[in-house]
Amino acid sequence: MVIDGSAIVAFLRGDAHAERIEALLDDSPACHISAVTMVECRALLLARFGEEMLREFEKLVERAGIIIRPFDRVQSALAFNAYRRFGRGCGHPAQLSLTDCAAYALARSLDVPLLYTGQDFALTDVEPALV
């Protein structure tokens, strides 16, 4: 399973899906996160919620054994293809951001579901981990 930043933020904030996200993290044999998503999460959590939330994120990554995956050439091609199909400004209702495209690409390259919240990814062809 690959985890998107939306699921990280929802979990750390205790949003409606937090318990389900925790269960999926506990039950998944392997959970991956793109290095691009790591940067996005760190920046967003620091800017919106401060140092304490950033520390909680780092603890979560360690505690859950989330594997940080480098953004490589294959993912770059998959992410660009996702952007052309589903990206902001390309006419598709999903309106994926570049970091969304990185998470999508990692899930597709590993052929595993993507754990996310919200509706953007639901409008794509990526397999969801959260139903």
Q: Domain map of the chain by residue range?
A: 2-120
For 6-18, b/e burial (b = at least 16 CB within 10 A) is bbbbbbbeeeebe
Is 4 assigned to a binding site?
A: yes
Is 72 assigned to a binding site?
A: no
Instruction: Give 55-99 pLDDT, tens digit per residue.
Output: 999 999 999 999 999 999 999 999 999 999 999 888 887 889 999
33, β-bridge pairs:
68
| Architecture of the domain delimited by 2-120 | 3-Layer(aba) Sandwich (3.40)
87, β-bridge pairs:
96
Predicted model pTM? 0.93
